[in-house]
Structure 1
Amino acid sequence: MENVLQKEGVAENLRFMVIEVVKQVENTQRVLDTMDPKIIESVTSRDDYIDNLKSVIENKCYSAINRSGSRNPRSVDILRASITVTSNLERIGDFAVNIVEQTEYLKDKDFIKRFDLSKFFEAVLTALNQVYTAMIKQDMSQAFKICRSEFTLDFLYKVQFDRILNELRSGRETENLITSHLILRYLERMGDSLLNIGEAIIFAALGEKFKIRQYEALRETLAKSGVEVPLSEVEFHSIWGTRSGCRIGLVTDRSRNRANEKGCAPESDEKQPGVDKASGVLFKEGNRKKIIQEMENINRWDSIMPGLPPKVLAHQVDGSQAAMLVEYLGGCTFQDVVLTAEAEIVENAIFLLEQTLLSVWDHTQAMAPMKSGFIRQLESRLDDVLRLYPNFDWQPKTIGSLEIASFSHMLEAAKAVEDELEAPYSVFIHGDFNINNIVYDHESQQIHFIDLHRSKLADPLQDISVYIVSNFRLPMFDLYSRARLNRAARRIYHFARSYGAEHGDASFDARLALGLARSFITSTRFELNPRFAKDMFLRGVYLLEKLLDHRGNPWDQFVLSEDALVY
């Protein structure tokens, strides 16, 4: 892919820009050694030239992207990466100017020499001198070394920062120490820009944006799984839409993909574990607690119903982060089935889901009363709702003799209602049972669950309410799609209600109303269509009002209207 940068004239200008930034950093080092005013003037005057080179490269890249469009996504990725590289080179040049300007505040011009600056400049210049080749060739090895320079600079900065703090306590040389700290801080910030440059080159090579910790996690986790595929031959396709904060993507072997596309087998007939064209593996990286919790829950689910969750192929933990490779399951999400499959397949999928839930609930049922906690869950997410829609938090109103309580007062009253309600049993639930976290494999006639870090023993209506609202909140408004989604919601409602009746669940409809109210209201924090968000919010409020009106009567007489389930 060298041609796109050469063809568009980006490579030549990038080369000039790297040379200029290297020269700026070298001259900055000379300034700190000699305080030569001519070199200081040279550094400040060359800043405009670097800015101009940045503008030229950006213009060329944006013009080329506009011409390429979707026809050549790899070229677009490389051009986008070039813009990031250029912006961060320009920032390093700015830091060089900032350092030079700080020297005028040194009372003693030789004071800065007591700090070991040569190692800082060595780390920066070594990384800068690799940028051009790494970008032109999308060299992963060099990109990784550029990224590592940031860790080196952070370490060097920490050593000198601790020294400055100790010396400041003496009360002497305060001005010189503070100015020296600012100079060291700009050198450390050059490392941040080098990290951005290295990650941009990794993006150019892989076609996906990776933080260096994610790159290392992927590399190490692949190695632990026994997959002997160079990372340069790995294709990573992000799975967007997750709100968990984790990085999730499908990992496949680029060399096998090329071989399959040509209709030939790879050089070795021996199957690589985990990664191939047909399946690949899922890479998940994120908060350590969430990843470990999910692995534990996957093992728990596998003991309940083998094959229901994906298999964990490998994992690794690094400080506060963790990563794992899991089996990529065949089939498609329940959302895709409900919206696009033939009616017969949809019916079969819903039947399989009901049978799967029946088996899980029977196997894990614990006959002990349990509080559901729906309103407290709602309150924990309410701040995000009100940030997007502050008008939902209405204040008390009076219309003639009619008094309307505030929204917060309604929630307090709903909490009192919930305290009267208990599930007569608990089961092991998914914990985030929306229709994108259910996979249906028509060929094997299996249901699979994914994204399981919230699984636990709880009221089964936790899952049922989430499932129903996940159908409702899809922004599909044509009658055909809505009819399919509504049917999927109603079917699971009737299934769960029948199960509850068979097992003595007298407050089923009342607790489900609470669960639906929670999910309707909290789902608005993800909905930017104000009319649709208001519809969901008011539906949640309606359900709470119905519950409050019923208070004082037996909860087994509360009836949830099916119209509340569907759009």
Structure 2
Amino acid sequence: MHNLLDLKEKIHFMTLEVIRQLESVKRIIRNPDPQVADRVKNRDDLIDNYKAVIENICFSRIHGHHYLTREEADFVRAVNIISNNLERISDFAVNILGQLNHLHDMKTMQSYRYRHYFQQITISLELVVQGLFNRDHELALRICKSEFIVDKLFKKSFRQILEDLHSADNKSDLITCLFIFRYLERMGDSMLNIGEAIIFSVFGEKLKIHQYHALMENLGSMDNELSFEEIGFESIWESRSGCRIGKIMDSGQRNGQAVLFKEGRIEKIAREKANIEKWKSIFPSLVPRIISYSQNSKNASMLMDFLQGCSVQDTVLSRDRESMDNAAFILKETLSIIWHDTLENTAVKPDFISQMIQRLDDVIMIHPEFNFSDFDNSLSRPLPEKLLQILSKIETELSSPFSVFIHGDFNTNNILYNQKNQQIYFIDLHRSRYGDYVQDISVFLVSNYRMPVFYPDVRRAINKINKTIFCFANQFAAENSDKTFHARLALGLIRSFYTSTRFELNRELSRSMYNRSLQLAQLLLAHQGKPWRDFSVPRNIFDYP
């Protein structure tokens, strides 16, 4: 990193200035001195300048003409994050200085363990340069740990001050001390950010400290235990669930088997683990093998086999019609096996409208005009609440005569197609359960429709795969005497078309989905009083435009 020497020098000096800043504030608490206070304020300007210079260097390096290796680019990004947090620590030091002016008696501050805060933060700051320059993740972890220690100190100070407030005469001084400790606690937060930035510079991916620990714990349980330095981590797949998903490889083996790391809230990960085990008993080759699982009080994580293949969404967008047709055929065969093997003669009620109501506010926040105020029906013009009540009533009249084990979140990016092995895989399975297969079909159809791609040939391909899966599901319904399939599908499509608009800012596409939900609602309301077995979903409802 010879071409980054100026950046190394600047971040080194900036770190030293912040350490001096903390030493000066600590000295003022011990022995107030106006001259030292002036130096703190002047040094803050210097630190601000360092931050501005470092930011300019970082952006000029990233967008400059000189090629940066991945390692150099990660270092530059880490330095930018670190400089921002060093500047925050300096600002907090100045804020503490301002609070000290409100203390009537400096001894009030000295009666609490303020030195421990400064000691912990200063020791960690002294590790920053070495940890960053040497790409030392052990030092990075020690820096991160300081945040947890400072948090514990703050909780103890907080409880002590609250207790003292009951009997103390100098209540205003105690409150001022609490503000000061709060600034010190926020310095700890910045130290955590700095430690995680160093981990990023080593690892090449942004990991929260709890995600790092979860990853290391899972890797440690593998038979071929890998060290931190031996692995490559690559974030994959966008996730709206809040889970962290990454592909892990042994960097020493070019063709080594990759594994998938997934970390998130314990309820979601534990549920997915249980569902994968259930799927394994039904269709073993359909889902990944769980290699390891760990959890703590809030979060859980697991390592799974990395399944090779493209999502059905990517297959449709590839313009390879033969691959798409083959993927659709294998998907039909797979669903047919699942539905026949898991079919239970237990009627199940749909719950599409309740799902829709749960997401109503999210839709209105993005598209305030999608409030059903333009609902038009020759029979009535109900208000939004009334319309949903009517649809809910219709829903109570419908049921599937049987249940099957469903995916639960059957978007096309949760279905993988392996062309070489002629295999379909399911992923992201935390919502799997026994239920109405129409739930999966309606989600699948709309997830295709909502793709923001408008090339005529691609739209024809999307329309084709939707018609293929629709006809397949329709035939399955007929073979199994499901006489309200179309009515339930209409409700499922209303739900999916409407709620999908919250992810789409393209006005034409979002309006098209909204209009289709209105159209289907109008058809259902118009059919009230007639046998639901006679209701039919229009075949062109999936066609765009």
TM-score, normalised to structure 1, is: 0.93
> Corresponding residue for 1:469?
446
User: Does structure 1 retain, via aligned residues, the 8 Å contact 2:486–2:535?
Assistant: yes
Shift of 1:278: 4.4
- State yes or no: 1:532 paired with 2:532: no
Give me the whole-angstrom Cα distance separating, in 2, the residues matched to 1:448 and 1:337.
Answer: 14
What residue number does 1:329 align with? Answer: 307
Counterpart of 1:432?
A: 409
Partner residue in 2 for 1:31: 28
The 1-side partners of 2:3 and 2:338 are apart by: 55
Instruction: Give the conservation status (yes or no) of the 8 Å contact 2:250–2:256.
Output: no
Deviation at 1:443, TM superposition (A): 2.2
> 1:349 Cα deviation (Å)?
1.9
Number of equivalences? 544
CA drift of 1:402 comes to 8.6
Contact 2:352 2:491 in 1 (8 A): yes
Q: How does 1:292-441 map to 2 (within 5 A)?
A: 292-340=270-318, 342-395=320-373, 404-441=381-418
Query: Structure 1 residue aligned with 2:17, among 16, 20, 23?
Result: 20
SS at match of 1:108: coil
1:138 and 2:135 correspond: yes
Q: Deviations over 1:41-80 (max 9, x none)?
A: 2212211111111111111111111115986444332212
Partner Cα separation in structure 1 for residue 224 and residue 166 of structure 2: 54
User: Does residue 197 of structure 2 align to residue 200 of structure 1?
Assistant: yes
Instruction: Give the match for residue 239 of structure 1.
Output: 236
What is the root-mean-square deviation in Å for CA atoms of aligned residues? Answer: 1.8
The one-letter code sitting in structure 2 at the alignment partner of 1:454 is: R
Which deviates further from its counterpart, 139-148 or 169-178?
A: 169-178
Alpha-carbon spacing, 1:412–1:207, altered in 2? closer, same or farther (3 Å): same
Query: SS at 1:294's partner residue?
Result: helix
- Equivalent-residue separation in structure 2 for 1:201 and 1:367 (angstroms): 57
CA distance in 1, matches of 2:218, 2:123: 29
Contact 2:438 2:489 in 1 (8 A): yes
The alpha-carbon deviation at position 414 of structure 1 amounts to 1.0
Contact persistence 1:395–1:406 (CA under 8 A): yes
- For residues 54 and 218 of structure 2, the distance between their equivalents in structure 1, rounded to whole angstroms, comes to 37
1:396–1:54 distance in 2 versus 1, CA, 3 Å:
closer
Q: Secondary structure of 1:436's partner?
A: helix
The aligned runs of 1:97-176 (5 Å cut-off) are: 97-176=94-173
Q: Do the aligned partners of residues 35 and 227 (structure 1) sit closer, same or farther apart at CA in structure 2, a change above 3 Å counting?
A: farther
Q: 1:518 to 1:195 in 2, by over 3 A?
A: same
SS in 1 for 2:369: helix
The CA distance in 2 between the partners of 1:114 and 1:423, in whole Å, is 70
What is the match of residue 54 of structure 1? 51
Distance 1:227 1:84 in 2: 34
For 1:404, the aligned partner's letter is R
Aligned to 2:458: 481
CA deviations on 1:399-443 (whole Å, 9 max, x unpaired) are 9x9963233322221111111111111101000011111111222
* CA distance in 2 between partners of 1:71 and 1:413 (Å): 61
Identity of aligned residues (%): 43
Return the TM-score normalized by structure 2: 0.96
Does the CA contact (< 8 Å) of 1:68 and 1:76 recur in 2?
no
Q: Does 1:520 align with 2:497?
A: yes
Contact 1:397 1:403 survives alignment (8 Å): no
Deviations 1:357-409 (A, max 9, x none): 1111111111122111111111111111110001111447999x996323332
User: Which letter maps to 1:230?
Assistant: S
Task: Describe the SS at the equivalent of 1:235.
Answer: strand
Structure 1: 5+ residue stretches without partners: 261-276
Pair 1:45-2:42 in alignment: yes
Decide whether aligned partners of structure 1 residues 493 and 278 sit closer, same or farther in structure 2, where only a CA change above 3 A counts: farther
Q: What residue ranges of structure 2 are gaps of 5+ in the alignment?
A: none
Structure 1 residue matching 2:285: 3-state secondary structure:
coil
